[in-house]
């Protein structure tokens, strides 16, 4: 997402600052419920996230059964290997760390 679009989404209340990634120093953002007012943007966001998941799966960071209608995504040992993760582009490192963290939260419940 380019900076201009991000600024617009923040000003419109569709995106909020969530914090800073401790490893990369990149700003992290959350979408607010207001983003649901823009199905066109939601479609782009969803498609982007799905493409990131597919890429991480193809590269062996994630495991899932692509034959399922709604496959469960699981992390692999490669996703926990800092050296391997550091080889990814920054945006994919952040996406993978979010998936890893979500799996920890889901696993604890």
Q: Domain of 86?
A: 3-108
Which contiguous run of DSSP H or E holds residue 39?
Answer: helix 39-58
Residues 78, 58: Cα–Cα separation, whole Å? 12
For 29-38, 57-66, 79-88, 97-106, which range has the lowest pLDDT when averaged over its residues?
A: 97-106
Q: What is the pLDDT of residues 32-47, one digit of tens each?
A: 999 999 999 889 888 9
Predicted local confidence at residue 100, as pLDDT? 92
For the entire predicted model, the pTM comes to 0.76
Number of domains observed in the structure of the chain: 1
pLDDT in tens, 2-28: 788 889 899 999 999 988 887 778 888
């Amino acid at each position: 997402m380019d900076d201009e679009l991000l600024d617009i989404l923040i000003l419109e209340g569709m995106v909020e600052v969530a914090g800073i990634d401790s490893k990369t120093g990149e700003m992290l953002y959350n979408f607010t419920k207001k983003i649901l007012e823009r199905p066109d943007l939601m479609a782009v966001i969803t498609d982007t996230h799905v493409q990131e998941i597919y890429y991480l799966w193809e590269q062996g960071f994630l495991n899932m059964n692509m034959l399922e209608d709604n496959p469960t995504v699981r992390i692999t040992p490669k996703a926990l290997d800092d050296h391997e993760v550091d080889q990814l582009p920054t945006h994919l490192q952040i996406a993978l760390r979010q998936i890893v963290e979500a799996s920890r939260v889901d696993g604890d419940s």
